[in-house]
Amino acid sequence: MGWHLPILPLFPGQSDVDQAMRTRLNQINQAFYARVAAEFDATRKRAWPGWFQALSRIDSPIQSVIDIGCGNGRFALFLSERQPTSFDYTGIDSSQGLLGLARARLSRLGQAEIRLIEHDLVEDELPDMQAQLVVLFGVLHHIPGFRQRRELLVRCAELLGPGGHLVFAAWRFYEEERFQARIVPWDSDFPVEYNDYLLDWRRGERALRYCHYVDDAEHDDLVAATALSAKADFRADGANGTLNRYTVLSSGKEG
């Protein structure tokens, strides 16, 4: 990479932000998705290559899945195309616009029992439920605060049924110049966390979104916090095949 922007200094709260700042950062993203849901949906039509790799590490067929930050529901479509057997799908997201698009799209699935839940992952705890597979794709970078990201992964591990798998991906946007070019400086009244950035959206509506760059050290800490067994860890997606870092975790529990 020919150039590198300076990383923001550590926030005094030891790599974390307080509840008031988490709320403010969350409000940025709530406003972002309310404004650009249609444009965002238009850029999220295809399955990510990493999904194929992740699914190859998991015993099939999948009987039940919880999709945290499901967006427009395209993972359910992907799964329905990969296996002929029926499955239960629960999609959770805070965006009414994206959930509406998911509801319309997934109503055509014949082999899946669909449940979509509007839920704020920053402000509220995940509801009690259980599934064979729990996935988080394009989610962690929108969760403010190191502790809250770790608590979310721990909670997701608790949702696994016997022999279940947790798959999450961290968006490594800061490693690519095209995303570095979209970084907008924070106002002085935003004492944000180390590796927190504000990115400019440049398709259709202009809008800003809060994104946290999960580096390798934090990613490894998140994996360790789940107390699950790692089955696979790889990079995939994007033009260079490295845009997301995936980890496939197994509960190791027997039914």
Q: How does strand 160-171 pair with strand 206-212?
A: unpaired
- State yes or no: pLDDT of 212 exceeds 80: yes
- State yes or no: pLDDT of 8 exceeds 50: no
Question: Given this model, what pLDDT does residue 129 score?
Answer: 95
Question: Given this model, what pLDDT does residue 107 score?
Answer: 86
Rounded to whole angstroms, the Cα distance separating 84 from 237 reads: 25
Q: What is the DSSP string of 121-159?
A: TTTSPPPS--EEEEEESS-GGGS-SHHHHHHHHHHHHHT
Kindly give the interhelix angle for 96-106 and 74-82, rounded to the nearest 10 degrees: 30
**How many other C-beta atoms lie within 10 A of the C-beta of residue 87?**
21
Rounded to whole angstroms, the Cα distance separating 160 from 222 reads: 16
The pTM for the full model equals 0.90
pLDDT-derived band at 112 (thresholds 50, 70, 90) equals confident
